[in-house]
Structure 1
C-alpha cells in the first residue's frame, strides 16, 4: 500500500521527453524501481526487554508497516539507540509516549493472562506512540478500542480512520532527534 509521488503518467512523460532532451537513453527505470525503498519516516524500536512478547512486537510493527506509508517501524540495530523501548512486565499494558514517535511501551502480562491477544495488545500500544488515543468503549474493528472490545477480539489492524490519523500525524513530521 505504498503511495509514492512518482506516478506512471509522470514516468511515461519522462520516458517520452528523455530522448528529445538528452538524446538516446540506454535504459529507463520503471516507476516501481524508482520508488524509495523506505518510508518517509523511520522509527526504531528496541524489543530486547519484551521477553516472551518479542515476536508479537515484531508482528505489531509489521502490521503498522503494512497499514501506513508515512512512517515505518524497524528494529534497532545492536548498539543503536531506539525511538521506542518495549518492555514486558506483570502489570496492565500501557504506553508512555514522549514526543510523536518516541516513548516506552509496556506489554503487561495481566491482560495477556486474562486472554487478550498479544499481537492486538502490541499493535494497540504502538498506536499510542504513533499518536493515537484510546477509543473506549469501541468495537473490535477499532484497534484503539483496546480491551473494551473483549478477549474474543483478535483484530490487530487499524481501521481506516486510525490509519488516516497516523498518516496525518506524520505528514511533514521531522525525524526524531
Structure 2
C-alpha cells in the first residue's frame, strides 16, 4: 500500500476532500482546490480506491491479491483494496472452468473470471489476475505481443510469467484515472474481454 501525504500541512489537508461514491474514493474537483495555495496546486490527487471481492476466486484468491498488489505498486492514480465483509465491491472475482475474461461495466468496475482452462494449459495465475484487472482499469488486449507487455496476455505463451505492466500500460492507467481525468465520470464499457 502506498502512503500518500500532502505537502503544506493543515491548510493543504483542508483543501483536498475525499468523498465516497459507490465504494470508490474520488478526489475533490479541481474547482474546489484553492488557486491561492501553491501547495495545493502542486499536490497530487489522491488515488481512486476500488475494492475487489475475491471470495469467489477459489484457489486463485492469493493470485488475485498479488495481481492487485502489483497494480498498487505500479501506479499512483488507483489503489485496489479487498472489500470489507458485507461491503459491495467494485470488482467481483470468480473462478470457473472457462477461459479467463473480464466484463468491465464502467472504468474500475466489473467482473473478472479466473478461468481454469488457461491454468490447465500452463498459464501463470498471477499474470492472469494482473492482466484481467488491467482490463477493469481500462486496458485493451495487445495481441500478439511480447512477454514484457502484460496486456499481450496468452499471445506471449505459457513460458511467460511476467505479471507487471510495462511503462506504456502504467501510463495509460495513470491517464485513465489521474489528473483532470479523475474528475470526469467513468466511461461506460459493457464488453466481454476474453483473453
User: TM-score range, shorter-chain basis?
Assistant: 0.7 to 0.9
2:83 to 68, 76, 82: 76
In structure 2, C-alpha distance between the alignment counterparts of 1:156 and 1:118, rounded to whole Å = 9
Q: State the shift of 1:173 in Å.
A: 2.1
Q: State the shift of 1:40 in Å.
A: 1.7
1:158 to 154, 158, 165: 165
Call closer, same or farther: CA 1:151–1:173 in 2, change over 3 Å.
Answer: same
Matched ranges for 1:50-69 at <5 A: 50-69=57-76
Q: CA RMSD in A?
A: 2.5
Matched ranges for 1:16-55 at <5 A: 39-55=46-62
Query: 1:82 aligns to what SS in structure 2?
Result: coil
Do the aligned partners of 2:2 and 2:72 also contact (CA within 8 Å) in 1? no
1:100-152 CA distance string (max 9 Å, x none): 00000000000000000000000000000000000000000000000000000
Large movers: runs of 4+ above 4 Å: 1-7
Call closer, same or farther: CA 1:5–1:161 in 2, change over 3 Å.
Answer: farther
Query: 2:147 aligns to what SS in structure 1?
Result: coil
Looking at CA atoms only, which structure, 1 or 2, has the larger radius of gyration?
1
Query: 2:182 aligns to what SS in structure 1?
Result: coil
Do the aligned partners of 2:141 and 2:152 also contact (CA within 8 Å) in 1? yes
In structure 2, C-alpha distance between the alignment counterparts of 1:5 and 1:55, rounded to whole Å = 29
State the TM-score, normalized to the length of structure 1: 0.78
State the TM-score, normalized to the length of structure 2: 0.71
* Residue-pair matches, total: 150
Task: Say whether residues 1:173 and 2:174 are aligned partners.
Answer: no
In structure 1, C-alpha distance between the alignment counterparts of 2:54 and 2:3, rounded to whole Å = 29
Greater shift in the superposed pair: 89-98 or 39-48:
39-48
Task: Say whether residues 1:133 and 2:137 are aligned partners.
Answer: no
Partner of 1:102: 109
